[in-house]
Every structure is written in structure tokens, then in C-alpha cells.
Amino acid sequence: MHLNKLPSGRRGVLAAAALCGLFSTPLFGYEDLSFSSTSGLVRFEAETGTLSGATVVTDQANYTGTGAVFIDEVGESVSWTGYVMEPGLYRVTLGCKSPYGTEGQNKHASVSINGRQFDVELPNTPYFTSVYLGEVWMEDGNDIVISDNWTWFYIDWIQFVAIDTDANDNDRGYTRKQKLLTGLLANQAKGLTVPSGQQEEADAAYIIEKTGKAPAIICEDFVYYGSGSLDYGGNPGQLTENVIKHWEEGYIVTLCWHWISPSGIPNTTGKEWWRCFYSEHSEFDVAAAMADPTSSDYQLLVADIDRIAVELKKLADANVPVLWRPLHEAEGNPAAWGGAWFWWGDGGSEPFKQLWHLMYDRLENYHGLKNLIWVYTCTDQMQTSWYPGDEYVDIIGIDQYPSDRTSILQSTWDNLNTTFGSTGKPFALTEFGGVPNLEDMLSAGIKWLYFASWYGETNGPESVADADLVAAYTSRALISADELDQNLDGVTNGVCWNQDLPLQFTLQPALGLNTGESVEYLDLFEDPYEHDLSNGNLLEMDGGSVVVGAGFEFMESEDLVGWSNITPQFYQFGEDGRVLFVVPFNETEPRFYRLTIYQEPQ
């Protein structure tokens, strides 16, 4: 089954998709007068191209170079033919605008790059801004044509940023991994929303059917890729390829691995091969295997990890970052089960940590995989003796199946902070029976990095009443797939790079309550998700009100902690209640930006 109901094809956010601007990848230099180059980009100025009917203009604000090109008639174009660039994959953006469009009726341009066609919707603004087209392969002799689709628009430039695709270093996967993790952390720091996740495609499709919304994260399982499955006829099908499709459709992806033991499989009634990730069914001795690296069982472990590396490498080659959650719930629940319920924890904490370190070293160092975000999942036991170590973990997760599905898990959150708070790692709700009560959790200061519901009639979305499922997925506290790159609290969702050009974006304002001596910034007020500031409307808040334009403060930050004022080059209040900003060029450092509207209390 293939998910196909995501409203837009945007890639993850918060992830990668919520991040503005360009990769800051070192580039090579060119001296050809037809286009300019600085560190990180190659730009063709529109006025230097071959014009067919189009005209060069100099009466528009903030163009670069010596002018811009105006296309106002059918058949007009600007083009560059046969230009040589170093072969490779490039990220393409177009500097453009169309102040003549109307709401819902924006102008469109056609862009052809070596025969590949792009239909570009042009921003209806008075200021030139950048529109991302996609990734294209460039090589010796490149043809670029920008022509009319719906006329009356301006083109300032088209630019290409090289992407390092060195397969040995997996730089592309690494870059997106870093941006995904940065975006998740930034969203968690704001404490207003939590990205939603769902285990298994079928259950994600069920959510879409019932709510019209899709989970932001799709969770899959590598259960059938190991030798313990393949030797007995297990068939993983096209799971890895489907994971790539999920990412391309706009989902974040996470993978667990119910690792069927590589040996010690009775395959008898009640102990069939497909049950042998459980310690009660498998006879595999992980402690003995890890104690003797020359043993056949140790070598079988390595061979299975190598099989998984083949699949993870496919994801890296496709530029897909992965929330990688292997060897989960290792310590089990001794009180309820008498020990660990999975074989990888059955030998105790030391063999488990040795296995984790072996897998980490094999995937990261031997195979050179750099697209993995490592998620360590504990149980309610939360024993630090099982923790693999800060250098081997990016996220600490916990799996919870409370009898009261409305529980905010306060004691679980408190225990996590007591046990693992000193690590500085973020906490995720990596499995949950049903859908968590996010609004009450956030109100109590419980801010998960993300959550993932389990699957099936008992613990999946089917176990939740239809009305409750709809309420959960339409809650403003839950980030669904179509909301991954939206902004709800006045702070950009991720760090933004604006390399050698102004950066333009829109923000819904947060509120600052001016107390006279200081300003208290309030992202959470009576309803932090409704900012009705269109056309000078009043916004009610605790008996006070604010008028658009009466006063605002625009700030930037490197870490969402320290904020400093910044003067925008241009700003405009829109009829939709959002505010358009163009910020000064910042050469190297990433920034978060924040808009605060002042309100004087009555």
C-alpha cells in the first residue's frame, strides 16, 4: 500500500522543509561575465541572458546586477545556451516577483533546465524573492530557458547551488539529518506543537480516511531483512523503496528493527521463526556472542548489521534522513516478565551496550552512513546502566501503553528528566497506545520531540473512537504532515540561511506584553494559534488590545535563547494577518527570526 493523500508534496520540516534558504556548500569559482559566482552559489543574472521579446528594466526595487527582465507577452523568454558547469547535482532557486497577481490568482512562469520543465508560481509581492524549484543535474553544456506561462512578471536571476553527493561521505544525508534534528529541536523549544507519527502504512491510511489529516512521521520496521527471516522465506518486499517514497511525499521517516535472531531459532509450534525477536522464543545467547568476536554467532550479528546497512545506504543515496530506532526496550520489565522481552536485552546491560556500540561503529564508521539520527528507547525501568552513552545517542525515547489513554504521563516525564536530564538529550514518545493528549501535556510543560502511535486494533488509531481521533488530529497542538512547514507562534520553524541575497518570509506575530520596565514575550496566551491582525484589526488578550502597525519588534537568535533586535530591509502587513519581511544579508551564521507585536495592558 502506498500513501498518496498528503495535500502537498513538501518534504519534512521541520525538518528539512521548514528551513529557509540555501545549503552553505563550498563551490568553485567562475569568471564568465554572463553569470556571477560567490562562495556557495552560481547565479545567472536575467539581464545577461538572450532575450526573445522580453525587456530589461531598472525601475524595480531590490534587483541585483544591472537590472531585471520583464516578461509581459506570450512567447517572450530569456535563455542561456551551452554553458559549462562542473557535473553534479544542484539545488535551483529563481529570483522573481509578480506584483500584478491577485489573491488565489498568482502568475506563473515556465522554466526549462536541460529539457526538464518546472511550472513556477510567482510570489505576489513588490519585492524580489527566491522560489525553490528543485534539484537538477548539470554538466557540460547546459540550456536554461525562462518563458511565459501566465505573463506580467519579473525575473532577476536563476541560481544553482552544488550539492556534494560523494557516496563515501554521504554528505547529502548528513546535511538533511542535521537540518531535521535542528528543526525538531527548535519546534520542541517553542513548546506549542508536537509532530505526530504512526507505525505502519495501513494505520496511517486509516487516520487519513477518518480525519482527512496525515501523520507527519511514518514509522516502518526492518523486521524481515535479517538472516533469521530470509533463511526461512521471509520477504521484506519493497519496504526500503516505500520509505524513500514516504520522504518524497513529504513525511519524516523513522525505522525500528524487530531483529529476528540470526541463530537459535527453534521454528517449532509456538516458537516459529517470525516470533524469534522475543527472548522467550529465541535461543540466541547475546552475552556469549558479544564475549567472543571470533564466534560464529558474533559474525552472524555483524552480517545482519551489514544487510541492514545495504538498505540504509539506499536511503542515504536518496538523500533521506532517518530517525533510526534499533534495539528498543532492551531492559524490558523484570517485574512483569522476569527480564527482557527481546533477545538483545536478555544477556543484561553490558552485552546490550556492546551490541549497540558494535552496530553504531559498523554503520557509522565502517559503512560511512551519516544520515542516521540515533534513537535509544527505554522502558519504564529507565536504568542508566543500559544507556549506551551520549556519543552514541541523539534522542532518548520511551514507549508507553497506559490504561488511561488521556493520561498526560506526568510521572513518566518527571522520571525521564530525573534519570536522563543530565544527558541534555531530547525526549520522544516513540510508541504510544492510541493518540496522546497533547494539549494537556503541553499545558503541563511536557514537550515531546515527537510522538508515534502504535498499530493495530488494540493499540493503534482503530482503538480510538472516531470523534476522539478527529479531535486529536485537528488539535492545534498536533503537527500533521500538511503542517510541517507552517509557523504558528511568531518564530521561524528552523534556522535560515540567506546566502548573498536578502531572505524573505512571512511570520504570524507572537505577542509581547509591555510592562513598562521590561517586555514579557508571550507565545502562549489565551489562544496562541489565532493571530487575527489583518487590516488593523484588534487582537484581544487579557483585557488589552493591539493595533497592527502600532508597534512591533523584530529579532534574531542563534539558539532561541538570546535574542537581539534587527532592522528589516522591508516589511509589509498582509490581508491574511501575516507579515512579510526581508532581512539583511547574513553571510555565514544561521538565525531564527521572531516578530513581536506590542500590546499595552489596560
pLDDT digits (tens, 9 = 90+) for 243-269: 999 988 889 999 999 999 999 999 999
Provide the pLDDT for residue 543.
26
For residue 548, give the C-alpha cell: 497592527
| pLDDT confidence tier of residue 512, bands split at 50, 70 and 90 | very low
Q: How far is the C-alpha of 271 from the C-alpha of 267, rounded, in Å?
A: 5
Cα angle for residues 196, 202, 205 (degrees, 5° grid) = 60
Minimum mean pLDDT among 210-219, 438-447, 531-540: which range? 531-540
What was the pLDDT predicted at 56? 96
Does CATH number 1.20.1050.10 belong to domain 26-163? no
Copy the grid coordinates of residue 120.
513556477
- Please answer whether residues 428 and 448 qualify as being in contact, where contact means their C-beta atoms are separated by less than 8 angstroms: yes
In this prediction, residue 384 has a pLDDT band, given cuts at 50, 70 and 90, of very high
> Which of the residues 201, 329, 331, 553 is marked catalytic?
329
Confidence of residue 178 (pLDDT cuts 50, 70, 90): confident
User: Under a CB-based contact definition with an 8 Å cutoff, are residues 459 and 433 in contact?
Assistant: yes
Helices 171-190 & 296-317 angle (0-180, nearest 10): 80
Which pLDDT score, from 0 to 100, does residue 475 have? 87
Whether the CB-CB separation of 316 and 173 falls below 8 Å is answered with yes
Write down the pLDDT at residue 193.
85
The domain defined by 171-483 carries CATH number 3.20.20.80: yes
Percent with pLDDT over 90 in the chain: 49
Q: What is the mean pLDDT of residues 400-423?
A: 94
Q: For position 311, what pLDDT does the model report?
A: 95
Predicted local confidence at residue 337, as pLDDT: 67
pLDDT confidence of residue 202: 94
Per-residue pLDDT averaged across 323-344, rounded?
87
Q: Kindly give, in sequence order, each residue whose CB lies less than 8 Å from that of residue 556, ignoring residues fewer than 6 positions away.
A: 563, 564, 566, 583, 591, 592, 593, 594
| Summary mean pLDDT of the chain | 76
Residue 576 sits at φ, ψ, to 5 deg, of -90, 5
Alpha-carbon distance of 175 to 163, in angstroms, equals 10
pLDDT at 248: 83
**CATH 3.20.20.80 residue ranges in the chain?**
171-483
pLDDT-derived band at 347, boundaries 50, 70, 90: very high
pLDDT digits (tens, 9 = 90+) for 350-362: 999 999 999 999 9
d(CA 316, CA 310): 10
Is the per-residue pLDDT at 283 higher than 90? yes
431 is annotated as an active-site residue: yes
- pLDDT given for residue 602 in this prediction: 30
Q: Among candidates 311, 316, 28, 16, which has minimal Cα distance to 167?
A: 316
Q: Does the pLDDT value for residue 89 go beyond 80?
A: no
User: Is the model's pLDDT at 537 over the cut of 60?
Assistant: no
Taking the C-alpha atoms of residue 284 and residue 265, their distance in angstroms, rounded to an integer, is 7
| pLDDT confidence of residue 495 | 32
453, pLDDT greater than 90: yes
- What three-state secondary structure class fits 159? strand
What average pLDDT does range 67-76 have in this prediction? 93
| CA distance linking residue 602 with residue 328, whole number of Å | 54
Q: Establish whether 556 is a catalytic residue.
A: no
Predicted pLDDT at 150: 81
**pLDDT band per the 50, 70, 90 thresholds, residue 405:** confident
**CATH 2.60.120.260-classified regions of the chain:** 26-163
Tell me what pLDDT residue 62 has: 73
| Catalytic site residue from 47, 200, 331, 431 | 431
Quote the Cα angle for 77-80-81, to 5°: 120
Write down the pLDDT at residue 466. 94
State the Cα–Cα distance between residues 155 and 118, nearest whole angstrom. Answer: 15
What is the C-alpha separation between 558 and 593, in angstroms, rounded?
9
